[in-house]
Chain A
Amino acid sequence: MFRKAVALTLFLILTPLAAYAETAPVKIDTGDTAWVLISTAFVLLMTAPGLALFYGGMVRKKNVLSTIMQSFVILCIVSIQWVLWGYSVAFSPDAFGGLFGGLGWAGLNLVGTDPNPDYAATIPHQAFMIFQMMFAVITPALITGAFAERMKFSAFLVFTILWTTIVYDPVAHWVWGTGGWLRELGALDFAGGTVVHISSGASALAAVLVLGRRKGYMTEIMAPHNLPMTVMGAGLLWFGWFGFNAGSSLGANGLAASAFVATNTAAAAAALSWMFVEWAHRGKPTILGLASGAVAGLVAITPAAGFVSVVPSIVLGLAAGIICYLAVSFLKPLFRYDDSLDAFGIHGVGGMWGALATGLFASAAVNSGGADGLLHGNAALLGKQLIAVAASATYSFVLTFIILKALDAVMGVRVNVEEEVEGLDLSQHSESGYTA
């Protein structure tokens, strides 16, 4: 009886203490966690089906499935790569001079449900990890627009693993990882303008130079085979981008709302400016132009979303639509490179504009964790943004060029002419998108 009473008393005293000891240093905010997990799902939607349909509609009928499949399989490959070693290379404590992380978090070792205050103090570390995973997924998928309709599937799979490991993971570490050199420098990238769009855009340019032009480029008609599909994809990208940008506040808070507003505003402004500039130049407003402009605006606002107020986001968007339109309609024909679906023209050019515009328009009043840009009297930020743009674009371009050249020597990166003419759906997958 006595022994039982003592046991019970001890139990009553110790239980709350034990519970306290477990939860005290760890304050998970339920609202923040819910928002980041939902945002993660939003960003997944950007790749499949968003980007898959956006690109799928723009290729010719005979390549619709292979194009959609590239986005879908990247989702699967990078999901595995990221938990095994990608997240560790990008985000674990710096291993070498601010260039990449170590392998201490490989297999999600030490990445549990407790928050990691270096990245996000109020959500489980695994929530931050999986949110970041979706960024690692969409980035190589963006590049597929450049080499669409001519890349060999087997080589493409190997390229995806190598590119994600050698290009994406280090660049993400530079910008966002603890000890990353661009983060230490003070360059700003709210949601991945440098990490996602400049890296994929510069890599896209390298890819088209290695693979060469499609057979019949500039002589045969290569018009989009299904623009309704493309527009549906663009709408899903816009939707998902709220998770991408507003989710990057890593909390359900005022910053998320302000990034959300800036994102939507810039997308709308860029869609309109592309439509009007094309109307003035070619005589007709087009839905492909409207949709492309929206994506260009979303790309450009990405690095700035959490640092700028609403009027600058309109200016940033209007300029993005015009600059990207000029890139695809003058730059591309001038140099005669075949960036099939304008991965460089929209993500590379739009990403660089967005990163520099962040250096112009950023305001510490919007986000105390940010900095003032040139228009708020701080020219130094623009210099830092310029360094970030130059470094990430150069590194991505050079490494992608080397990876693809090496792969070409080992296994060949391009399908043969017969397979290209037949279409990748049949030659690579023995399927057709439209059997009726």
Chain B
Amino acid sequence: MKKIEAIIKPFKLDEVKKALNDLNIEGMTVSEVKGFGRQKGHTEFYRGAEYSVDFLPKIKIEIVTTDSMAAKVVEAIVTGARNGKIGDGKIFVVPVEEAVRIRTGETGEEAL
């Protein structure tokens, strides 16, 4: 099993979700997060006072899937989230040791 963690631009979430639906991915966790990469932040002005805002709003998507599906999921996220501009985000794939479905007690890929 693999966990795919993707940090994307908030306005790209719908397109990513659609691409994942087309793969029949049955679940995901989405959080509103803040951070920055090479894009850095932006500047805001209030009555002449200048504030540089370093942390930008981003969306983090977490999906746990089977080893065989992982590459396709990554590809779907890339397709949905790519804008071709700096700040599009990053994807991390990490191995997952175990999964448990709380309701039934199923474990491993059965629980996904």
Chain A residues within CB distance 8 Å of chain B: 221-224, 278, 282, 284, 286, 288-289, 292, 325, 328-330, 332-333, 342
Is B105 located at the chain interface by the 8 A CB criterion?
A: no
Ranked nearest first, the 5 interchain pairs of A and B with the lowest CB-CB distance are A329-B48, A221-B51, A328-B47, A282-B45, A328-B48
Give Cα A284–Cα B48 distance, bound, in whole angstroms.
11
Quick check: B53 and A333 within 8 Å, CB to CB? no
Which residues from B are CB-within-8-Å of A333? 48-49
13 contacts between A and B (CB under 8 A): A221-B53, A223-B46, A223-B51, A224-B46, A278-B45, A282-B48, A286-B46, A289-B47, A325-B48, A329-B47, A329-B48, A333-B48, A342-B47
Is B26 located at the chain interface by the 8 A CB criterion?
A: no
Give Cα A330–Cα B44 distance, bound, in whole angstroms.
17
Q: Which residue of A lies closest to B48 (CB)?
A: A329
Quick check: A292 and B47 within 8 Å, CB to CB? yes
Q: Which residue of A lies closest to B52 (CB)?
A: A221
Give Cα A311–Cα B25 distance, bound, in whole angstroms.
68
Give Cα A240–Cα B9 distance, bound, in whole angstroms.
44
Which residues from B are CB-within-8-Å of A223? 44, 46, 51
* Chain B binding surface SS class: strand
Which residues from B are CB-within-8-Å of A288? 46-47
The smallest beta-carbon distance between B73 and chain A, in angstroms, is 34
Which residues from A are CB-within-8-Å of B48? 278, 282, 325, 328-330, 332-333
The smallest beta-carbon distance between B54 and chain A, in angstroms, is 9
The smallest beta-carbon distance between B16 and chain A, in angstroms, is 28
Give Cα A224–Cα B45 distance, bound, in whole angstroms.
10
The smallest beta-carbon distance between A59 and chain B, in angstroms, is 12
The smallest beta-carbon distance between A56 and chain B, in angstroms, is 15
Question: Beyond A288-B46, A325-B48: 20 further Cβ-contacts under 8 Å?
Answer: A221-B51, A221-B53, A222-B51, A223-B44, A223-B46, A223-B51, A224-B46, A278-B45, A282-B45, A282-B48, A286-B45, A286-B46, A289-B47, A292-B47, A328-B48, A329-B48, A329-B49, A332-B48, A333-B48, A342-B47
Q: Which residue of B lies closest to A325 (CB)?
A: B48
The smallest beta-carbon distance between B57 and chain A, in angstroms, is 15
Chain B 28-51, CB within 8 Å of chain A: the 1/0 string? 000000000000000011111101
Give Cα A136–Cα B46 distance, bound, in whole angstroms.
30
Q: Which residue of B lies closest to A345 (CB)?
A: B47
Q: Which residue of A lies closest to B50 (CB)?
A: A282
Which residues from B are CB-within-8-Å of A332? 48
Residue from B46, B47, B49, B53 whose CB has the most chain A CB atoms within 10 Å? B47
For residues 51 through 104 of chain B, which have their beta carbon under 8 Å from a beta carbon of chain A?
A: 51, 53
Give Cα A10–Cα B48 distance, bound, in whole angstroms.
78
CB-contact partner of A284 in B45, B47, B51, B53, under 8 A: B45
Which residues from B are CB-within-8-Å of A224? 46
Which residues from A are CB-within-8-Å of B46? 223-224, 286, 288
Give Cα A223–Cα B48 distance, bound, in whole angstroms.
11
Give Cα A342–Cα B49 distance, bound, in whole angstroms.
11
Which residues from B are CB-within-8-Å of A330? 48
Which residues from B are CB-within-8-Å of A284? 45
Which residues from A are CB-within-8-Å of B45? 278, 282, 284, 286
Q: Which residue of B lies closest to A218 (CB)?
A: B49
Which residues from B are CB-within-8-Å of A329? 47-49
The smallest beta-carbon distance between B44 and chain A, in angstroms, is 6
Which residues from A are CB-within-8-Å of B47? 288-289, 292, 328-329, 342
Give Cα A332–Cα B45 distance, bound, in whole angstroms.
15
The smallest beta-carbon distance between A184 and chain B, in angstroms, is 39
Which residues from B are CB-within-8-Å of A342? 47
Q: Which residue of B lies closest to A227 (CB)?
A: B46
The smallest beta-carbon distance between A301 and chain B, in angstroms, is 20
Which residues from A are CB-within-8-Å of B51? 221-223
The smallest beta-carbon distance between B41 and chain A, in angstroms, is 11
The smallest beta-carbon distance between B39 and chain A, in angstroms, is 18
Give Cα A289–Cα B44 distance, bound, in whole angstroms.
13
The smallest beta-carbon distance between B45 and chain A, in angstroms, is 5
The smallest beta-carbon distance between A116 and chain B, in angstroms, is 42
Which residues from B are CB-within-8-Å of A292? 47
Which residues from B are CB-within-8-Å of A221? 51, 53
Which residues from A are CB-within-8-Å of B49? 222, 329, 333
Residue from B44, B49, B51, B53 whose CB has the most chain A CB atoms within 10 Å? B49
Q: Which residue of B lies closest to A326 (CB)?
A: B48
The smallest beta-carbon distance between B42 and chain A, in angstroms, is 11
Which residues from B are CB-within-8-Å of A282? 45, 48
The smallest beta-carbon distance between A365 and chain B, in angstroms, is 38
Which residues from A are CB-within-8-Å of B53? 221
Give Cα A328–Cα B44 distance, bound, in whole angstroms.
16
Q: Which residue of B lies closest to A342 (CB)?
A: B47
